[in-house]
Amino acid sequence: MTRHPRLGRLAAGIATATVLCVTASGCVTVHGELAVVPGAKKSEAARALKEFTDAYNAADKAYDPALDADRVTGPLGAINQAGLKARRSYNPDGNKRHQPLVLDDAAYVIPKKAGWPRWFLANTDSNRDEDGGKLDTRWLVVFVRSGPDAPWKAAYLAVVPPSQVPEFTVDGDGFATPVKPRDESLAVAPAELSTSYAGFLQDGSPDVFAPSSSTTGWRETRRTTERAGFSFQYVDQPLTDGAFAPLGLRTEGGGALVFFSSKHFERQTAAEGLRPEVSADTKALLSGEVKSSLTKERVSGQVAQVPPRAEGAGSGSDTGAGGKVRILNRLPGLVAAKGA
Protein backbone atom coordinates (compact mmCIF):
# COMPACT_ATOMS: atom_id res chain seq x y z
CA MET A 1 0.00 0.00 0.00
CA THR A 2 1.25 3.48 -0.76
CA ARG A 3 0.32 7.00 0.06
CA HIS A 4 -2.99 7.49 1.88
CA PRO A 5 -5.02 9.98 -0.19
CA ARG A 6 -5.91 12.12 2.81
CA LEU A 7 -2.48 12.25 4.31
CA GLY A 8 -1.82 15.61 2.67
CA ARG A 9 -3.60 17.23 5.62
CA LEU A 10 -1.38 15.53 8.04
CA ALA A 11 1.54 16.56 5.84
CA ALA A 12 0.82 19.22 6.12
CA GLY A 13 16.80 18.14 21.60
CA ILE A 14 18.73 16.17 23.17
CA ALA A 15 18.86 17.31 26.83
CA THR A 16 21.99 19.06 28.16
CA ALA A 17 24.36 16.42 29.47
CA THR A 18 27.78 16.15 30.99
CA VAL A 19 28.79 13.25 28.76
CA LEU A 20 27.42 12.22 25.36
CA CYS A 21 28.59 9.12 23.52
CA VAL A 22 27.19 6.78 20.92
CA THR A 23 26.84 3.13 21.88
CA ALA A 24 27.25 0.22 19.51
CA SER A 25 23.48 0.11 19.03
CA GLY A 26 23.39 3.72 17.86
CA CYS A 27 21.69 4.96 21.03
CA VAL A 28 22.77 8.21 22.63
CA THR A 29 23.94 7.69 26.19
CA VAL A 30 23.24 10.53 28.61
CA HIS A 31 24.86 10.73 32.05
CA GLY A 32 26.02 7.13 31.73
CA GLU A 33 22.50 5.68 31.37
CA LEU A 34 23.43 2.27 29.99
CA ALA A 35 20.73 0.13 31.54
CA VAL A 36 18.47 -1.67 29.08
CA VAL A 37 14.98 -0.50 30.04
CA PRO A 38 11.55 -0.12 28.38
CA GLY A 39 11.38 3.03 26.27
CA ALA A 40 8.18 4.15 27.96
CA LYS A 41 5.43 3.07 30.30
CA LYS A 42 2.13 2.29 28.58
CA SER A 43 0.46 5.15 30.45
CA GLU A 44 3.20 7.46 29.23
CA ALA A 45 2.76 6.22 25.65
CA ALA A 46 -1.00 6.77 25.84
CA ARG A 47 -0.45 10.31 27.11
CA ALA A 48 2.01 11.02 24.29
CA LEU A 49 -0.53 9.86 21.70
CA LYS A 50 -3.24 12.07 23.20
CA GLU A 51 -0.98 15.11 23.41
CA PHE A 52 0.09 14.65 19.80
CA THR A 53 -3.49 14.27 18.58
CA ASP A 54 -4.69 17.30 20.55
CA ALA A 55 -1.83 19.43 19.23
CA TYR A 56 -2.31 18.23 15.66
CA ASN A 57 -6.03 19.06 15.77
CA ALA A 58 -5.39 22.54 17.17
CA ALA A 59 -2.77 23.21 14.50
CA ASP A 60 -4.94 21.86 11.69
CA LYS A 61 -7.96 23.89 12.81
CA ALA A 62 -5.98 27.15 12.91
CA TYR A 63 -3.49 26.25 10.15
CA ASP A 64 -0.83 27.31 12.64
CA PRO A 65 2.37 25.22 12.65
CA ALA A 66 3.42 26.68 16.00
CA LEU A 67 0.60 24.83 17.76
CA ASP A 68 2.09 21.37 17.17
CA ALA A 69 5.74 22.20 16.47
CA ASP A 70 6.80 20.70 19.82
CA ARG A 71 4.91 17.42 19.13
CA VAL A 72 6.34 16.48 15.72
CA THR A 73 9.82 15.78 14.43
CA GLY A 74 11.65 13.86 11.70
CA PRO A 75 9.96 13.34 8.33
CA LEU A 76 6.46 13.69 9.76
CA GLY A 77 7.46 16.97 11.40
CA ALA A 78 9.02 18.36 8.23
CA ILE A 79 5.94 17.49 6.18
CA ASN A 80 3.45 18.66 8.80
CA GLN A 81 5.13 22.01 9.44
CA ALA A 82 5.60 22.86 5.75
CA GLY A 83 2.03 21.84 4.93
CA LEU A 84 0.55 24.01 7.68
CA LYS A 85 2.72 26.96 6.67
CA ALA A 86 1.57 26.63 3.06
CA ARG A 87 -2.14 26.36 3.82
CA ARG A 88 -2.03 29.22 6.32
CA SER A 89 -0.67 31.49 3.56
CA TYR A 90 -3.92 31.29 1.62
CA ASN A 91 -6.28 30.48 4.52
CA PRO A 92 -5.29 33.10 7.12
CA ASP A 93 -8.54 32.53 9.04
CA GLY A 94 -7.83 28.85 9.55
CA ASN A 95 -9.34 25.61 8.32
CA LYS A 96 -13.07 26.04 7.92
CA ARG A 97 -13.40 22.37 6.92
CA HIS A 98 -11.51 21.03 9.94
CA GLN A 99 -12.63 17.64 11.17
CA PRO A 100 -10.84 16.42 14.30
CA LEU A 101 -8.52 13.47 13.85
CA VAL A 102 -9.31 10.59 16.19
CA LEU A 103 -6.72 7.90 16.93
CA ASP A 104 -8.03 5.17 19.22
CA ASP A 105 -7.93 1.40 19.78
CA ALA A 106 -4.20 1.87 20.36
CA ALA A 107 -1.76 -0.99 20.90
CA TYR A 108 1.69 0.11 22.03
CA VAL A 109 4.83 -1.67 20.88
CA ILE A 110 7.55 -0.58 23.28
CA PRO A 111 11.15 -1.72 22.79
CA LYS A 112 13.71 -2.15 25.55
CA LYS A 113 16.93 -0.28 24.93
CA ALA A 114 19.81 1.55 26.57
CA GLY A 115 20.30 5.30 26.55
CA TRP A 116 18.66 7.95 24.42
CA PRO A 117 16.79 8.54 22.21
CA ARG A 118 13.96 6.27 23.33
CA TRP A 119 10.96 5.47 21.20
CA PHE A 120 7.84 3.38 20.75
CA LEU A 121 5.23 2.52 18.14
CA ALA A 122 1.52 3.27 18.53
CA ASN A 123 -0.63 0.98 16.37
CA THR A 124 -3.93 2.85 16.15
CA ASP A 125 -7.29 3.01 14.41
CA SER A 126 -8.32 6.33 12.91
CA ASN A 127 -11.48 8.04 11.73
CA ARG A 128 -9.86 8.60 8.32
CA ASP A 129 -10.36 5.20 6.69
CA GLU A 130 -10.60 5.16 2.90
CA ASP A 131 -13.72 4.64 0.80
CA GLY A 132 -16.11 5.98 3.41
CA GLY A 133 -14.81 3.62 6.06
CA LYS A 134 -15.14 0.48 3.92
CA LEU A 135 -11.38 0.02 3.62
CA ASP A 136 -10.00 -0.55 7.11
CA THR A 137 -6.51 0.76 7.89
CA ARG A 138 -4.20 1.02 10.86
CA TRP A 139 -2.23 4.19 11.52
CA LEU A 140 1.26 3.42 12.81
CA VAL A 141 2.79 6.40 14.64
CA VAL A 142 6.38 6.29 15.89
CA PHE A 143 7.12 8.50 18.88
CA VAL A 144 10.64 9.58 19.83
CA ARG A 145 11.98 11.20 22.97
CA SER A 146 15.48 12.64 22.71
CA GLY A 147 16.27 13.03 26.42
CA PRO A 148 14.86 12.78 29.95
CA ASP A 149 13.49 16.34 29.90
CA ALA A 150 12.32 16.31 26.28
CA PRO A 151 8.70 15.81 25.16
CA TRP A 152 7.55 12.84 23.13
CA LYS A 153 7.32 13.75 19.44
CA ALA A 154 5.76 11.90 16.50
CA ALA A 155 8.49 11.22 13.93
CA TYR A 156 6.96 8.70 11.50
CA LEU A 157 3.46 7.92 10.29
CA ALA A 158 2.44 4.99 8.11
CA VAL A 159 -1.01 3.81 7.05
CA VAL A 160 -1.37 0.11 6.30
CA PRO A 161 -4.08 -2.56 6.19
CA PRO A 162 -4.35 -4.56 9.43
CA SER A 163 -3.04 -7.61 7.57
CA GLN A 164 0.30 -5.84 6.98
CA VAL A 165 0.98 -5.17 10.66
CA PRO A 166 3.45 -7.93 11.57
CA GLU A 167 3.81 -9.95 14.74
CA PHE A 168 6.62 -8.39 16.75
CA THR A 169 9.17 -10.34 18.73
CA VAL A 170 8.57 -9.65 22.43
CA ASP A 171 10.13 -10.85 25.67
CA GLY A 172 8.40 -12.39 28.65
CA ASP A 173 7.27 -8.98 29.84
CA GLY A 174 5.78 -8.06 26.46
CA PHE A 175 8.50 -5.61 25.39
CA ALA A 176 9.74 -5.51 21.80
CA THR A 177 13.27 -5.89 20.45
CA PRO A 178 14.79 -2.90 18.61
CA VAL A 179 16.96 -3.53 15.56
CA LYS A 180 20.49 -2.15 15.54
CA PRO A 181 21.14 0.31 12.70
CA ARG A 182 23.79 -1.96 11.14
CA ASP A 183 22.19 -5.31 11.86
CA GLU A 184 23.82 -7.66 9.34
CA SER A 185 21.22 -10.39 9.88
CA LEU A 186 18.75 -8.48 7.69
CA ALA A 187 18.62 -8.35 3.89
CA VAL A 188 19.35 -4.62 4.18
CA ALA A 189 20.56 -3.08 7.45
CA PRO A 190 18.32 -0.20 8.63
CA ALA A 191 21.23 2.27 8.34
CA GLU A 192 21.56 1.37 4.64
CA LEU A 193 17.87 1.44 3.68
CA SER A 194 17.65 5.13 2.78
CA THR A 195 20.81 5.05 0.66
CA SER A 196 19.66 1.85 -1.04
CA TYR A 197 16.23 3.34 -1.75
CA ALA A 198 17.70 6.51 -3.25
CA GLY A 199 20.05 4.45 -5.42
CA PHE A 200 17.28 2.14 -6.55
CA LEU A 201 15.08 5.06 -7.61
CA GLN A 202 17.97 6.59 -9.56
CA ASP A 203 19.21 3.58 -11.52
CA GLY A 204 17.64 0.40 -10.15
CA SER A 205 20.67 -0.55 -8.05
CA PRO A 206 20.87 -2.18 -5.59
CA ASP A 207 18.02 -4.46 -6.65
CA VAL A 208 16.76 -5.20 -3.14
CA PHE A 209 13.18 -3.85 -3.26
CA ALA A 210 10.08 -5.83 -4.18
CA PRO A 211 7.96 -4.39 -7.02
CA SER A 212 5.37 -1.85 -5.86
CA SER A 213 4.04 1.58 -6.71
CA SER A 214 6.66 3.05 -4.34
CA THR A 215 9.58 1.26 -6.03
CA THR A 216 9.39 -0.09 -9.59
CA GLY A 217 6.13 1.75 -10.27
CA TRP A 218 7.54 5.10 -9.25
CA ARG A 219 10.68 4.56 -11.32
CA GLU A 220 8.54 3.71 -14.33
CA THR A 221 6.41 6.84 -13.87
CA ARG A 222 9.53 8.99 -13.95
CA ARG A 223 11.02 7.41 -17.08
CA THR A 224 9.22 9.90 -19.32
CA THR A 225 11.34 13.01 -18.85
CA GLU A 226 9.89 15.05 -21.76
CA ARG A 227 6.24 16.13 -21.60
CA ALA A 228 4.53 18.76 -23.76
CA GLY A 229 7.23 21.42 -23.75
CA PHE A 230 8.69 20.54 -20.35
CA SER A 231 11.60 18.38 -19.28
CA PHE A 232 11.90 16.72 -15.87
CA GLN A 233 14.90 15.72 -13.80
CA TYR A 234 14.84 13.74 -10.56
CA VAL A 235 17.38 13.48 -7.77
CA ASP A 236 16.93 11.22 -4.74
CA GLN A 237 18.98 11.56 -1.56
CA PRO A 238 19.19 9.56 1.67
CA LEU A 239 18.17 11.02 5.02
CA THR A 240 19.77 9.09 7.86
CA ASP A 241 20.83 11.35 10.72
CA GLY A 242 19.30 12.78 13.87
CA ALA A 243 15.51 12.92 13.84
CA PHE A 244 15.54 11.26 10.39
CA ALA A 245 17.40 8.15 11.54
CA PRO A 246 15.82 4.75 10.80
CA LEU A 247 13.97 2.91 13.57
CA GLY A 248 13.24 -0.81 13.42
CA LEU A 249 11.55 -3.55 15.42
CA ARG A 250 12.31 -7.26 15.19
CA THR A 251 9.42 -9.34 13.84
CA GLU A 252 8.61 -13.02 14.16
CA GLY A 253 10.50 -15.07 11.60
CA GLY A 254 13.74 -13.11 11.84
CA GLY A 255 12.87 -10.01 9.83
CA ALA A 256 12.08 -6.47 10.93
CA LEU A 257 9.65 -3.61 10.40
CA VAL A 258 11.76 -0.52 9.70
CA PHE A 259 10.78 3.15 9.37
CA PHE A 260 13.19 5.28 7.34
CA SER A 261 13.42 8.68 5.65
CA SER A 262 14.47 10.03 2.25
CA LYS A 263 14.57 13.28 0.26
CA HIS A 264 13.49 13.78 -3.36
CA PHE A 265 13.95 16.64 -5.82
CA GLU A 266 11.94 17.19 -9.00
CA ARG A 267 13.13 19.85 -11.43
CA GLN A 268 10.78 20.99 -14.19
CA THR A 269 12.32 23.06 -17.01
CA ALA A 270 10.15 24.78 -19.60
CA ALA A 271 10.81 25.24 -23.29
CA GLU A 272 11.17 28.80 -24.58
CA GLY A 273 7.93 30.74 -24.21
CA LEU A 274 6.55 28.49 -21.43
CA ARG A 275 6.67 28.62 -17.64
CA PRO A 276 6.16 25.85 -15.05
CA GLU A 277 2.82 26.05 -13.27
CA VAL A 278 3.04 27.08 -9.61
CA SER A 279 0.33 25.78 -7.27
CA ALA A 280 -0.77 27.65 -4.15
CA ASP A 281 1.15 25.27 -1.86
CA THR A 282 4.28 25.55 -3.98
CA LYS A 283 4.05 29.36 -4.08
CA ALA A 284 3.87 29.48 -0.28
CA LEU A 285 7.13 27.52 0.03
CA LEU A 286 8.88 29.14 -2.93
CA SER A 287 12.19 30.97 -2.97
CA GLY A 288 13.39 32.75 -6.10
CA GLU A 289 11.34 33.59 -9.18
CA VAL A 290 9.98 30.97 -11.52
CA LYS A 291 11.06 32.00 -15.01
CA SER A 292 11.99 28.82 -16.83
CA SER A 293 12.48 26.21 -14.11
CA LEU A 294 10.92 25.03 -10.86
CA THR A 295 12.57 22.65 -8.40
CA LYS A 296 10.40 20.97 -5.78
CA GLU A 297 11.90 19.40 -2.67
CA ARG A 298 10.01 16.66 -0.88
CA VAL A 299 10.69 14.69 2.28
CA SER A 300 9.32 11.18 2.53
CA GLY A 301 8.87 8.68 5.34
CA GLN A 302 8.61 4.97 4.52
CA VAL A 303 7.84 1.81 6.44
CA ALA A 304 9.34 -1.41 5.12
CA GLN A 305 9.12 -5.09 5.92
CA VAL A 306 12.75 -6.24 5.77
CA PRO A 307 13.34 -10.00 5.52
CA PRO A 308 16.26 -11.84 7.05
CA ARG A 309 19.40 -11.97 4.94
CA ALA A 310 19.65 -14.95 2.64
CA GLU A 311 22.39 -17.35 3.67
CA GLY A 312 25.63 -16.43 1.95
CA ALA A 313 24.38 -12.98 0.86
CA GLY A 314 25.81 -9.71 2.15
CA SER A 315 23.56 -6.99 3.52
CA GLY A 316 22.37 -4.77 0.69
CA SER A 317 23.08 -7.33 -2.04
CA ASP A 318 20.47 -8.73 -4.41
CA THR A 319 18.45 -10.85 -2.00
CA GLY A 320 16.71 -12.91 -4.66
CA ALA A 321 13.00 -13.35 -5.40
CA GLY A 322 10.88 -13.60 -2.28
CA GLY A 323 13.63 -12.14 -0.10
CA LYS A 324 13.32 -8.48 -1.02
CA VAL A 325 12.38 -5.48 1.05
CA ARG A 326 8.69 -4.57 0.78
CA ILE A 327 7.74 -0.89 1.09
CA LEU A 328 4.36 -1.05 2.84
CA ASN A 329 3.65 2.68 2.87
CA ARG A 330 5.21 5.94 1.77
CA LEU A 331 4.27 9.39 3.11
CA PRO A 332 5.80 12.21 1.02
CA GLY A 333 5.28 15.93 1.39
CA LEU A 334 6.47 19.12 -0.24
CA VAL A 335 8.82 21.04 2.07
CA ALA A 336 10.43 23.65 -0.20
CA ALA A 337 10.53 24.95 -3.78
CA LYS A 338 12.95 27.10 -5.78
CA GLY A 339 12.40 29.04 -8.98
CA ALA A 340 14.93 30.09 -11.58
Find out whether 165 and 158 touch, Cβ atoms under 8 Å: no
Give the 3-state DSSP-derived string for 178-216, with helices as H, strands as E and coil as C: ECCCCCCCECCCHHHHHHHHHHHHHHCCCCCECCCCCCH
On the question of pLDDT at 8 being above 80, the answer is no
Residue 61: inside a domain, yes or no? Answer: yes
Residue 4: inside a domain, yes or no? Answer: no
Segment 252-261 shows an average pLDDT of 97
What pLDDT sits at residue 324? Answer: 97
Which tops the pLDDT comparison, 19 or 226? 226
How far is the C-alpha of 320 from the C-alpha of 310, rounded, in Å? 8
Residue 239: inside a domain, yes or no? Answer: yes
Query: Which of 134-143, 153-162, 207-216, 310-319 is predicted with the least confidence, judged by mean pLDDT?
Result: 310-319
Q: Is 62 left (phi over 0), alpha (psi -120 to 50) or beta?
A: alpha
305 — pLDDT class (breaks 50, 70, 90): very high
What pLDDT sits at residue 21? Answer: 30
Query: Which of 22-31, 272-281, 305-314 is predicted with the least confidence, judged by mean pLDDT?
Result: 22-31
Q: What is the pLDDT of residues 175-188, one digit of tens each?
A: 999 999 999 999 99
Task: Show the beta-strand stretches assigned E in the chain.
Answer: 20-22, 28-30, 36-38, 103-109, 112-114, 118-126, 138-145, 153-160, 226-227, 230-239, 247-250, 256-270, 286-287, 293-306, 326-339
Residue 9: inside a domain, yes or no? Answer: no
Segment 102-114 shows an average pLDDT of 97
227 — pLDDT class (breaks 50, 70, 90): confident
Residue 15: inside a domain, yes or no? Answer: no
On the question of pLDDT at 24 being above 80, the answer is no
133 — pLDDT class (breaks 50, 70, 90): low
221 — pLDDT class (breaks 50, 70, 90): very high
Query: Which of 26-35, 89-98, 322-331 is predicted with the least confidence, judged by mean pLDDT?
Result: 26-35
Find out whether 302 and 260 touch, Cβ atoms under 8 Å: yes
Segment 250-264 shows an average pLDDT of 97
Nearest to 183 by CA among 325, 312, 27, 315: 315
Domain range for 210: 20-339
34 — pLDDT class (breaks 50, 70, 90): confident
Per-residue b/e over 10-21, b at no fewer than 16 CB within 10 Å? bbbeeeebeeee
| 171, amino acid identity | D
How far is the C-alpha of 19 from the C-alpha of 30, rounded, in Å? 6
Q: What is the pLDDT of residues 45-56, one digit of tens each?
A: 999 999 999 999
249 — pLDDT class (breaks 50, 70, 90): very high
Mean pLDDT of the chain: 89
224 — pLDDT class (breaks 50, 70, 90): confident
Report how far apart, in Å, the C-alpha atoms of 229 and of each of 220, 232, 269, 339 are: 20, 10, 9, 17
Residue 174: inside a domain, yes or no? Answer: yes
What pLDDT sits at residue 2? Answer: 47
What pLDDT sits at residue 129? Answer: 82
Residue 5: inside a domain, yes or no? Answer: no
What pLDDT sits at residue 7? Answer: 44
310 — pLDDT class (breaks 50, 70, 90): confident
Residue 14: inside a domain, yes or no? Answer: no
Segment 66-77 shows an average pLDDT of 98
On the question of pLDDT at 33 being above 70, the answer is no
Segment 221-250 shows an average pLDDT of 95
On the question of pLDDT at 29 being above 50, the answer is no
Q: How many domains does the chain have?
A: 1
Segment 126-155 shows an average pLDDT of 90
